[in-house]
Amino acid sequence: MTESEGSPQARLYSHFSHIYVEKNLAGSKRAENIINKFPKANVIEINHYKDIFNRKNQSFSAQKASQSLILGEKHADLVYKGAPFCQDFGNSEFYYTSLVMGCVYDCEYCYLRGMYPGGNMVAFLNAEDFLDEVKKVSCGKKIFLCISYDTDLAAMESVFGFCALWHSFAEKNRNITIELRTKCAELGFLKKLRPLENYIIALTLSPEKNAVRYEKKVPSLEKRLEAGRMAAELGHPLRLSFDPMLKTDNFDETYKDFIQKCFSSLPANKIKDIGFGAFRISPSYLKAMRKNYPSSAIALYPYELQDGAYSYDKTERDYMTSKLMKYIEKYINNDKIYLWDT
Amino acid sequence: MLYITTALYDEASPYIELLGLKKDVSFNKIRVYSNENAVLAVTGTGVFAAVSSLSYVLGRIQPSRGDVFLNVGICGGRGVTNTYVCRKLSLFGDKRAYFCPDMIYMTDFDEAELVTYPKPVGEIPKGVLVDTEAYGLAFAASAFFSPHRMFFIKTVSDEGDHDRITHGYIRELMEKNAEKIAAFALSIPHEEALEELSSDELCEIEKLRMSTTQTKMLKDCLYYYRLRGGDVLKLLRELPEVKTKQEGRETLDRIRRIAAGSVI
Ligand code: SF4
C-alpha cells in the first residue's frame, strides 16, 4: 500500500460533532441546553477552554472545515476598548465584548483567520459576568458596545440565545447602545424583541459577486436584504455596513449596481446610518492569514502599510471611497454615512 | 509522510508488511522501519520509552507541516472489545495532563477516551481504555504535528488479564484492522501549500540584486500576480536591468503596481 493507493480523501465530521465542555460547566443548565441542540455530538470534558482553543500547531482552515464547539467560562478581559481598525460611528466611548469567539461563516477577508490560533468556536457561558462588567465599565455613562465582532452572534441565536440576552440588558440600560453586527438572514428572533433605540442591527452587505467569491457559508445578498427589510419594518434601528469594501474588477459598476440593489430592497428612510471602509488588517494578522491560507487572493494581495495597517494604496482607496460615497449619497444623507479611513 | 509508532514489534508487523517498510539500520537504539512514504518506530513499552523513542526519531527525521502521526496498538478496556479512535488522552495521576486530537477526519471506529498509566493495570476503570504509552506520544508528537493530523487508534486486547496476551494473539488483533487504518491514515488530505516559484523565475529574481526583505516582498507580489493569471517569467524577463539599489526599489514598486492591478 502506498500513499497514491490510499483510499479516497478522508470524510469530515459535520460541524459541532464534537463539543468540549469545561468540567465545572458539565451538567449546568446553560451547557445542557446548548448540548441538547446537537443530539449526535460527542461531548468531551476539559479543564479549561484554552487547553483546546489555544493549542500549538492548530490548522485554522482544517478546523473551519469541521468546526468543534468549546463551552467555557472567561473571567478576565471581558470588555475591550474599541480597536482603531473598527468603526465607532461617532461614539467616543466605544467598547466591544465577545461572548463567542469564532464564527460559523468563513469569509476570506476575515481577520479572525489571522487573529485566532484555530478555527473552532468558543462560547462563554458566564454571560452574566460580561453584562456586569459592561455595566461597571459604563458606570452610568453613555457607551457604544459592539457584541458581535469576533463572531456572528445572530447566526448562532438558536443555539446560544445571546442576542436576546443582550437585548434585555439594553432594555434595562438605556445608556448603553448595543450594536449587533451580522450577515445572518435568519433574523426571525427579532420578531420577539421590542425595537429599542439602543439596540442596533448592523447588517453587513457585499456585492453579490464578492459574497459568492469571498463569503463562504454566508447567506446570499438577496436573503440578507430580505432579513434587513424585515428588521426595519419591525422598527429595529438598522445600520448597513459595507465593510470591507473590496477592490474588484469593474469596481464602479459592481458597487453602483450593488447600492442600487440594496436600496431597491430596503426602505432608505428607515436606515439609521451606514458605515463603510476599505479592507484593512494589522501586519501580524495578515502574516498569519497568509500562512493559514497560502493561496487566498485576499491574503496575497500586495497591500501598502500605512499607519500600522495594511490596505490598498491611498490613491486607490480614495478613488473607491469617493465612488461608493457618491452612490450611497443618492439614497442617504451624508451626515448618516460613516467612513473608516486611516 | 506518515509517522507510525507501536510499542511492540507484534503490533508493528502488519503495517511493516502492508506499507512495504524496510528496516532502517541508521537507527541503532530502537527498531525503525521506513520507505519514502512512511516511517514506523517500535518505541518499546512504558511512557518514558515512548517519549524518548519518538523524540529520537523525530529529531532525526523532522516532520513537516502536512505530515501525519499515527499510534496503533493494543490497550486494556473493561467490558469492551473492538478498535477505537481516541478523542482524549490523559495521564494517570496528573489531572492537568491531557491531550485532545482534533476530531476532523472520520474513521469507521467508535471513539473512546484513554488513560495512560505508568505500568500495566490489573483493575481497569470503567468507561476508558488504558495503555502505558499514548499520552507520552501525544505529548512528544504535539510539538511537531497539527492536532488534526494525529491519530491514536487502539484495539482492546484484555481486561487487565495480561496472561492471555501472546505474540500470536496480538498479531491476530492487529491484522484485523491494519489495512483499514493504514488506508485511513494515507487518505488524510495534504495541507494547502503555496507553490514555489520555478527555478527560472528564481534565477531572474536573483539578477535583480535585491535585499532579503525586498526579495521576500517581490516574491509575495509575484505569487499574487500568478494567482491573477499573470505570466511571472515573462514579467521578470521584460524588466530593465537593475544596476543600483535605487533601481531595485523602483523595480519592486513597479512590480507591486503591476501585480495589484488598478481599479482606476
Ligand atoms: S461573518 Fe464576520 S466574523 Fe464571521 S467569518 Fe465573516 S467576517 Fe469573520
Above 80 in pLDDT, residue A92? no
Kindly state whether residues B58 and B182 are assigned to the same domain: yes
Can you give the pLDDT at residue A176? 97
Instruction: Say yes or no: B63 and B109 in one domain.
Output: yes
A window 140-179, beta carbon within 8 A of B: none
Task: Provide CB contacts within 8 A for A267, sequence distance 6+.
Answer: A229, A232, A233
Q: Count Cβ atoms within 10 A of the Cβ of residue B163 and give its class: 0-12 exposed, 13-18 middle, 19 or more buried.
A: exposed
Are B206 and B180 part of one and the same domain?
no
Pick from A21, A57, A214 the residue to mutate for testing the B interface (most B CBs within 10 Å): A57
Residues of chain B in contact with residue A61, where contact means CB-CB under 8 angstroms, are 192
- Position A2 scores a pLDDT of 58
Q: Does residue A160 have its Cβ closer than 6 Å to ligand 1?
A: no
Whether residue B138 is found in the same domain as residue B238: no
Q: Which three cell numbers stand for residue B77?
A: 478496556
Give yes or no: residues B184 and B100 share one domain.
yes
pLDDT tens-digit map of A184-221:
999 999 999 999 999 999 999 999 999 999 999 999 99
Q: Is the pLDDT of residue A1 over 80?
A: no
Q: What is the mean pLDDT of chain A?
A: 95
Q: Which of B171, B191, B211 is the last residue of a domain?
A: B191
3-state helix, strand, coil in chain A (%, to 5): 40, 20, 40
Q: What are the DSSP E strand ranges found in B46-149?
A: 68-77, 83-91, 94-99, 110-116, 129-131
Domain with residue B130: its CATH number is 3.40.50.1580
Tell me if A289 CB under 6 Å of ligand 1. no
Q: Indicate if B11 and B127 belong to the same structural domain.
A: yes
The residue among B161, B151, B172, B148 whose CA lies nearest residue B66 is B148
pLDDT band at A6 (very low <50, low <70, confident <90, very high): very low
Q: Among A7, A247, A300, whose Cβ lies nearest the Cβ of B183?
A: A7
B42 and B103 fall within a common domain = yes
Q: Confirm whether the ipTM is greater than 0.90.
A: yes
Q: Which regions of chain B are under pLDDT 50?
A: none
Domain shared by B208 and B185, yes or no: no
Q: What is the pLDDT of residue A342?
A: 64
- Give residue-wise pLDDT tens across range A8-37: 789 999 999 999 999 999 999 999 999 999
- Residue A150 Cα to ligand 1 middle (Å): 7
Residues B37 and B152 in one domain: yes
Contact call for A10 and B188, based on CB within 8 A: yes
pLDDT digits (tens, 9 = 90+) for B181-207: 999 999 999 888 888 999 999 999 999
Report d(CA A301, CA A109) in Å as an integer.
Answer: 11
- Give me the number of domains chain B comprises: 2
Q: Which amino acid is at B227?
A: L
- As a whole-number percent, the residues of chain A with pLDDT over 90 amount to 93
Substitution target in B3, B102, B146, B150 with the highest count of A β-carbons within 10 Å is B102
Cα dihedral A117, A118, A119, A122, rounded to 10, equals: -80
Residue A3 above 60 pLDDT? no
pLDDT over 70, % of chain A: 98
d(CA A246, ligand 1 centre) in Å: 15
Distance CA(B141)–CA(B138), nearest Å, equals 5
B221 in the same domain as B179 = no
Which helix (DSSP H) or strand (DSSP E) does residue A321 occupy? helix A314-329
CA distances from A325 to A261, A270, A333 (A): 15, 19, 10
DSSP B229: T
Q: What is the pTM of this model?
A: 0.95
Q: Answer whether B142 sits within 8 Å of A56, measured CB to CB.
A: yes
A positions 44-83 inside 8 Å of B (CB): 44, 46-47, 51-52, 55-59, 61-63, 65-66, 68
Q: List, in sequence order, every residue forming a beta bridge with A202; answer none if it has no partner.
A: A181, A239
Atom of ligand 1 lying closest to residue A112 CA: 8
A272, pLDDT greater than 80: yes
N residues, chain A: 342
Sequential DSSP letters for A128-171: HHHHHHHHHHHTTS-EEEES-SSS-TGGGHHHH-HHHHHHHHHH
Ligand 1 within 6 A of CB of A103: yes
- Mutate which of A108, A111, A112 to test ligand 1's pocket (most atoms within 8 Å of Cβ)? A112
- Beta-bridged to residue B94, according to DSSP, are B91
Q: Among B159, B174, B191, where does a domain finish? A: B191
> What average pLDDT does range A167-196 have in this prediction?
98
Q: Are residues B136 and B6 in the same domain?
A: yes
Last residue of a domain, one of B191, B214, B242: B191
B172 shares a domain with B237: no
Residue type, B202: L
Domains along the sequence of chain A with CATH: 3-340 (3.80.30.30)
Q: Minimal Cα–Cα distance from A22 to chain B, Å? A: 13
Domain boundaries, position B214: 194-260
pLDDT digits (tens, 9 = 90+) for B126-156: 999 999 999 999 999 999 999 999 999 999 9
Q: Given an 8 Å threshold on Cβ–Cβ distance, is A42 in contact with B227?
A: no
Contacts of A66 in chain B (CB under 8 A): 103-105
Q: With left for phi above 0 and alpha for psi between -120 and 50, is residue B223 left, alpha or beta?
A: alpha
Backbone angles phi, psi at B139, to 5 degrees: -60, -50
Provide the pLDDT for residue A106. Answer: 98
